[in-house]
Amino acid sequence: MIDYVFRYDPSQPGVKRTPANAEEARQLLIEGNRVFSQWMATCRRGDSPTGDSQYVVPSSGLDPSTLSPTGGYPVQKPFAVVLGCSDARVPTEMLFGQGFNDLFVIRVAGNVMGNEVQGSIDFSTVALRDSVRVLVVLGHTNCGAVKGAVEAYLEPQKFWSRANSPYLRQIFQEIFVAVRESDNALRAAWGPEAPAQPRYRETLNDMAVCLNAAHTAFSLRQQVEAAGIWDIEVLFGAYDVCTYQVCMPIHPDEDLDAQKPELVNLAHAPTHPREFAALAARLATTLRRPGAPASESASVETSAEAGGDSDQ
């Protein structure tokens, strides 16, 4: 048996501690995803874990710090707010290695903004201000909402398909800017004939997932700063449903059994629109078309790294 356990030890109450700052919260989420992705990889390979506590997540559901002194309802004390997709393959608490009362999760198809989503985020930054350290926008590979937006972008007549309700079209429209920016970057990196290249549509989907998360994170950062909230950081990332890792930027998954824990990353929200183009260019060269020479791959990745961006 290969277990992934949420464990509470009543002999050690009071172990839950809210991260002291945004960076500590970010690292806690990153490390949690490393543990979860390693467990998932172990399950896929059928290996046996090397230690009883290797895949144990401490849970603080009965921690005294969450109990009301008057004996009423438990106190809500999440350290992170996560805006993610509704996709059933993306179990937010599990993939970040978190348990009861750790995350305030908002899930909507395509992790797009809307009135209800915005209201939920506003609630979290006001009512839960004492514990929240980070806002995270989490996209994921093979996202159905992003794929629908890509299909409608490439073949506009599909946008008006009877299968797409007005509400679904609204979600597509929220994602179109990310799709267009991704398409522009691919044409710049792969050439004007990019749409005819193998894996173009698949790469466009992956890039749009990342740019969509970046756009939303940028918008949230503007709102947080406008509200004068300087102690909550806005982050973004993309969960790979094949490698089970949260990364930004994402990387080619050529060998699913050769996970690289160092790739797990939550990037800081862009501070300027030009960073979208930089991220798109980096992705377009990293997720290069099949058949490109290895030397070309090395040169473009080195160039992208040298150019630098704020998400590292």
**140: annotated binding-site residue?**
yes
Query: Do the domain assignments include residue 295?
Result: no
> Which residue type, as a one-letter code, is found at position 118?
Q
State residue 287's pLDDT score: 85
State residue 192's pLDDT score: 92
Cis preceding linkage at 249, omega within 30: yes
Domain that holds residue 51: 15-287+300-307
Q: For residues 139 and 212, is the Cβ–Cβ distance under 8 A?
A: yes
**85: annotated binding-site residue?**
yes
State residue 53's pLDDT score: 44
SS3 state at 74: coil
How many domains does one find in the chain? Answer: 1
Query: Do the domain assignments include residue 5?
Result: no
State residue 134's pLDDT score: 98
Query: Do the domain assignments include residue 165?
Result: yes
**143: annotated binding-site residue?**
yes
Query: Do the domain assignments include residue 38?
Result: yes
Query: Do the domain assignments include residue 148?
Result: yes
State residue 1's pLDDT score: 63
Between helix 200-226 and helix 166-190 the angle, nearest 10°, is 110
238/265 Cα distance (integer angstroms) = 9
pLDDT averages per 10-residue partition of the chain, 312 residues: 72 74 97 91 74 65 65 86 97 93 96 95 94 97 97 92 91 97 96 92 96 97 93 97 93 67 94 94 81 40 37 39
Tell me, what CATH number does 91's domain have? 3.40.1050.10
**130: annotated binding-site residue?**
no
Query: Do the domain assignments include residue 172?
Result: yes
Query: Do the domain assignments include residue 10?
Result: no
State residue 183's pLDDT score: 97
State residue 60's pLDDT score: 66
Query: Do the domain assignments include residue 293?
Result: no
